[in-house]
Amino acid sequence: MGLAKLKSMLDESERVVFFGGAGVSTESGIPDFRSDTGLFKTLEGRSYPPERLLSHSFFIRYPDEFYRFYKSKLLCLKAKPNGAHVALAKLEEEGKLKAVITQNIDGLHQAAGSKNVLELHGSMHRNYCMDCGESYPLTAVINSEVVVPLCSGCNGIIRPDVVLYEESLNSDVVDKAIDYIRNADMLIVGGTSLEVNPAASFIAQYGGDKLVLINKSSTQYDDRANLIIRDSIGKVLAQAVS
């Protein structure tokens, strides 16, 4: 019933927007933070919780500890796009999907072929020197001979172009995301509990009648949704777009 309705809604739509969270990437083997098997649960015995380790102030004060955690837990280099990533790229190629708005930093949407991806929290694939601004690929972080990668030009610290806790989202990306949501005739929200603001509040900008929630747990927007599917987002989207 749910899958058939999803397919019907997609057939009727011309301006589809997808808003995704960590649950899209967990199906590719990337850990999230808040699930029963997420980083908060698996690192309970650690001196600092993940939200502290990934904060701006912690990075500035303890860059070595930050990078040890970041490299060991967040850089899942063997992860590949799953059915959700592939299906969304296909929808974009067909002209139906206008934008992917993601809270993930792994670049798997682009790896699957998506072109218009708005990364609310940045990307681990972009890095830059904090002193001179020189850009660096992810390999500069991975292959660094020291824990904290340093700029080859000025010896400044290289940091990932990601939004850390205590930092604001990029205003240009936010404005584009809200504009796409407002103009969508169908909004698919998947793999997110919609607990993290301000990103979660973007859903309130959608005024249409085709709000689809694909998530294994309930969300604060369930009562507003036109369709709720409690299943694997990779499986659901792969079947819906086949």
Nearest one of 29, 141, 40, 12 to 85, comparing CA atoms: 29
117/173 same-domain check:
yes
102/141 same-domain check:
no
C-beta atoms surrounding 32 within 10 Å: 19
Cα 56 from Cα 167, distance rounded (Å): 7
Number of structural domains the chain divides into: 3
C-beta separation of 157 from 150 below 8 A: yes
* Chain centroid offset of residue 31 CA: 12
220/104 same-domain check:
yes
**Exposure letters 186-199 (e unless 16+ CB within 10 A, then b):** bbbbbbbbbebeeb
Q: What is the CATH number of the domain that holds 155?
A: 3.30.1600.10
Active-site entry in 56, 85, 109, 121 = 121
- The 8-class DSSP code of residue 201 comes to G
70/9 same-domain check:
no
Does a cis peptide bond (omega within 30 degrees of 0) precede residue 81?
no
64/130 same-domain check:
no
198/154 same-domain check:
no
Q: What is the CATH number of the domain that holds 216?
A: 3.40.50.1220
61/179 same-domain check:
no
Active site (annotated) includes residue 121: yes
C-beta separation of 127 from 136 below 8 A: yes
**pLDDT tens over the chain, length 242 residues:** 699 999 999 999 999 999 999 999 999 988 765 444 445 444 445 567 778 889 999 999 999 999 999 998 888 888 999 999 999 999 999 999 999 999 999 999 999 999 999 999 999 999 999 999 999 999 999 999 999 999 999 999 999 999 999 999 999 999 999 999 999 999 999 998 888 778 778 999 999 999 999 998 888 889 999 999 999 999 999 999 98
205/91 same-domain check:
yes
173/68 same-domain check:
no
70/174 same-domain check:
no
215/97 same-domain check:
yes
| CA-to-CA dists, residue 96 to 5, 9, 92, angstroms | 17, 11, 6
Domain that holds residue 110: 1-30+81-121+168-242
